[in-house]
């Protein structure tokens, strides 16, 4: 045992001089606002992504909601596509594609997702804007928080909460709008009859947005996000990262304006700490790449602004690769990105062609369990089946049914062709009759459903025929 | 960006910009969030295959899951409860692991 090495010098009973607290005091975060190229880019991303989120539930397609996950009917509508539970593989496919894309873009350009597209980021951004609109910039917010509770402060805080809660509720409602048709939802709200699960999920999603974007913010990225922890598995020396050019910046230090810093032995970092002040996760990018960095690039914007002011070239903090920093060439095309790109292409192509070739009709056969068989007056053996024809297409189709597998077998039903509306499940109880004496015991038969309209769409479903 | 005069740019940090979460808060977060994600994925896969109304049929649950939305919601919270339990147990095991008995800290095991 080398216990002595791990214990403080004063001996085992004496507490260390500054005890490490696991219960750090929670202080409110007041990130400083920044303007710059990347901040503008994020604004665009926020408007596009959140715009889509709030607008899409209102869009129509062929007289129905364009994107609707109709859970009660167990059907998903995505533009011209209708997915049934049987098509669940395609949802998995979409998830796999999204996951691989995340890997691909991370390998290429770091945590683009975190800085510009993650819901946590975009909603936080909006909540920060609302806060800024009501309470002013960082200095004013700090002052306001320290000030006593005057009526003015109460009014400002109340206004902020009203904006936040209103926005959160609207968000929750839009979320539910993906599952409950929007017209129905708005009608329920207007008549104040919104209730049950729709109300519950509106409040649930709204509350989650409020807490996540209003209060937890980038702490979610630091403590709760798994992606942040396994980013190193996707990064390499050719990945675009936000980094501080230590060669150029060090040794850092304050200086008076116009002083020849090189003569004083200083680098170009004036140590203004703005990059630290603006960082929403509170790291010092000058210490190198850290997992807390969500690549929001506000430090680049802040530093560029300072460099402009002091008359140094921009880019002391910039998007670059480790190789470029070390003076080596960076490659976008490399085994890692090529493998991700190839996988993406293959999986996309396979899934997409499967989607195009997917049959628009499905047939379900359930044998009636009440009776094994019946003998008719004509000497035939009959079995009863319940058939379900699913027309997964959006248009009506005419289907023709035939039975195969036993010579002389025929379908004993008033019709063998049916017209099924788009998106409908059509149930047909029917009997299959086989002349007596041809088969004994159990025998396999096949129901063949042919699409009379479509180009040779055919489904075959096996069933069991039982004779004495 | 509005900041003071360039001459006044100095290395003062008027307050730490970001605070750390307390351990208790972190514990709650790391238990609830991954279990939420797992439960969400589980709900999706489970109900893609099984219809909650079919499951409820003929059981004591029938009245509860009489409509689909209730079935999905109950299913989700059911899964979340158990994924939370699993996350919490994992966290508990990691947290209560004996630190004193560790011999692998300062070098190879004796």
CA A258 from centroid of its chain's CA atoms:
50
pLDDT value at residue A27: 53
CA quadruple A93, A99, A102, A108: dihedral sign: negative
pLDDT value at residue A29: 58
Round the average pLDDT of chain A to a whole number and report it: 85
Residue A83, classified by CB atoms within 10 Å of its CB into exposed (0-12), middle (13-18) or buried (19+), is buried
The secondary structure element, H or E, covering residue A281 is none
Is the predicted pLDDT of residue A22 greater than 70, yes or no?
Answer: no
Average pLDDT, integer, range B39-53:
87
Nearest chain B alpha carbon to A5: B106
Is the predicted pLDDT of residue B87 greater than 90, yes or no?
Answer: yes
CA A375 – CA A195 distance, rounded (Å):
54
pLDDT band with cut points at 50, 70 and 90 for residue A52? very high
Q: Which of A200, A223, A256 sits opposite B21 (nearest CB)?
A: A223
Contact call for A224 and B9, based on CB within 8 A: no
Average pLDDT, integer, range A90-101:
90
Is the predicted pLDDT of residue A417 greater than 80, yes or no?
Answer: yes
Q: What are the structure tokens assigned to A197, written together?
A: 């699960």
Residue A439, classified by CB atoms within 10 Å of its CB into exposed (0-12), middle (13-18) or buried (19+), is buried
Is the predicted pLDDT of residue B15 greater than 90, yes or no?
Answer: no
Nearest chain B alpha carbon to A216: B21
Average pLDDT, integer, range B68-84:
91
Q: What are the structure tokens assigned to A35, written together?
A: 């303007």
Q: Which of A31, A256, A271 sits opposite B17 (nearest CB)?
A: A31
Average pLDDT, integer, range A36-42:
89
Average pLDDT, integer, range A270-291:
88
- For residue A402, which phi and psi values (nearest 5 degrees)? -135, 160
Which residues does chain B have within 8 Å of residue A226's beta carbon, measured at their own beta carbons?
34
pLDDT value at residue A14: 41
* Residue to test with chain A: of B12, B15, B20, B43, most A Cβ within 10 A: B20
pLDDT band with cut points at 50, 70 and 90 for residue B16? very low
Q: Pairing between strand A458-467 and A441-451?
A: antiparallel
pLDDT band with cut points at 50, 70 and 90 for residue A31? low
pLDDT digit string, tens, across residues A374-387:
888 888 888 889 88
Q: What is the CA radius of gyration of chain B?
A: 25
Q: Which of A29, A72, A305 sits opposite B18 (nearest CB)?
A: A29
Q: How many CB pairs under 8 A join A and B?
A: 119
Average pLDDT, integer, range A194-217:
90
| Å between A381 CA and nearest CA of chain B | 32
pLDDT value at residue A15: 41
Contact call for B16 and A224, based on CB within 8 A: no
CA A382 – CA A409 distance, rounded (Å):
10
What pTM did the predictor assign? 0.77
**In terms of pLDDT, which residue wins out, A342 or A290?**
A342
Nearest chain A alpha carbon to B68: A72
Which residues does chain B have within 8 Å of residue A301's beta carbon, measured at their own beta carbons?
1
Average pLDDT, integer, range A27-43:
77
CA A119 – CA A247 distance, rounded (Å):
36
SS3 A32: coil
pLDDT digit string, tens, across residues A156-171:
999 999 999 999 999 9
pLDDT value at residue A2: 40
Nearest chain A alpha carbon to B36: A224
Which residues does chain B have within 8 Å of residue A22's beta carbon, measured at their own beta carbons?
22-23
- For residue A398, which phi and psi values (nearest 5 degrees)? -105, 130
């Amino acid at each position: 045992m080398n216990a002595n090495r791990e214990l403080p010098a004063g001996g085992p009973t004496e507490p260390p001089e500054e005890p490490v607290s696991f219960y750090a005091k929670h202080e409110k975060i007041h990130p400083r606002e920044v303007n710059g190229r990347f901040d503008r880019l994020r604004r665009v991303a926020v408007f596009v992504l959140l715009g889509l989120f709030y607008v899409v539930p209102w869009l129509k397609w062929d007289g129905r909601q364009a994107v609707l996950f109709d859970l009660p009917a167990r059907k998903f509508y995505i533009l011209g596509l209708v997915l049934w539970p049987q098509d669940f593989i395609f949802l998995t496919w979409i998830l796999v594609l999204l996951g691989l894309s995340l890997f691909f873009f991370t390998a290429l350009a770091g945590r683009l997702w975190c800085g510009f597209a993650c819901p946590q980021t975009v909603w936080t951004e909006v909540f920060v804007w609302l806060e800024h609109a009501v309470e002013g910039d960082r200095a004013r917010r700090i002052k306001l928080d320290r000030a006593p509770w005057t009526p003015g402060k109460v009014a400002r805080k109340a206004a902020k909460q009203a904006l936040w809660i209103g926005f959160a509720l609207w968000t929750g409602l839009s979320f539910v709008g993906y599952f409950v048709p929007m017209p129905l939802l708005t009608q329920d709200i207007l008549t104040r009859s919104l209730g049950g699960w729709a109300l519950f999920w509106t409040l649930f999603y709204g509350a989650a947005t409020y807490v996540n974007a209003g209060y937890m913010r980038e702490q979610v990225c630091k403590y709760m996000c798994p992606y942040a922890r396994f980013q190193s598995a996707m990064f390499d020396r050719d990945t675009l990262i936000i980094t501080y050019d230590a060669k150029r910046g060090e040794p850092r230090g304050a200086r008076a304006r116009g002083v020849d810093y090189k003569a004083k032995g200083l680098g170009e970092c004036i140590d203004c700490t703005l990059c630290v002040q603006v960082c929403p996760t509170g790291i010092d990018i000058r210490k190198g790449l850290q997992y807390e960095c969500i690549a929001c690039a506000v430090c680049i914007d802040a530093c560029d602004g300072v460099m402009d002011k002091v008359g140094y070239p921009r880019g002391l903090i910039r998007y670059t690769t480790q190789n470029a920093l070390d003076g080596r060439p960076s490659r976008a095309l490399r085994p890692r990105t090529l493998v991700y790109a190839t996988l993406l292409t293959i999986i996309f192509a396979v899934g997409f062609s499967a989607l195009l070739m997917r049959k628009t009709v499905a047939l379900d056969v359930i044998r009636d369990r009440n009776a094994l068989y019946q003998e008719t007056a004509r000497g035939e053996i009959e079995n009863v089946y319940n058939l379900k024809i699913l027309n997964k297409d959006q248009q009506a189709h005419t289907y023709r049914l035939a039975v195969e597998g036993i010579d002389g077998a025929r379908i004993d039903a008033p019709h063998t062709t049916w017209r099924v509306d788009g998106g409908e499940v059509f149930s047909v109880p029917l009997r299959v009759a086989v002349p007596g004496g041809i088969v004994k015991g159990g025998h396999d038969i096949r129901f063949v459903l042919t699409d009379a309209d479509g180009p040779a769409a055919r489904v075959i479903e096996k069933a069991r025929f039982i004779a004495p | 960006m509005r900041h003071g005069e360039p001459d006044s740019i100095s290395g003062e940090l008027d307050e730490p910009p970001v605070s750390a979460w307390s351990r208790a808060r972190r514990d709650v977060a790391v238990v609830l969030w991954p279990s939420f994600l797992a439960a969400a994925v589980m709900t999706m896969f489970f109900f893609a295959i099984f219809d909650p109304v079919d499951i409820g049929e003929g059981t004591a649950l029938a009245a509860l899951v009489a409509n689909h939305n209730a079935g999905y919601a109950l299913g989700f919270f059911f899964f979340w409860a158990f994924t939370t339990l699993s996350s919490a147990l994992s966290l508990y095991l990691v947290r209560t692991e004996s630190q004193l008995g560790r011999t692998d800290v300062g070098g190879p095991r004796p």
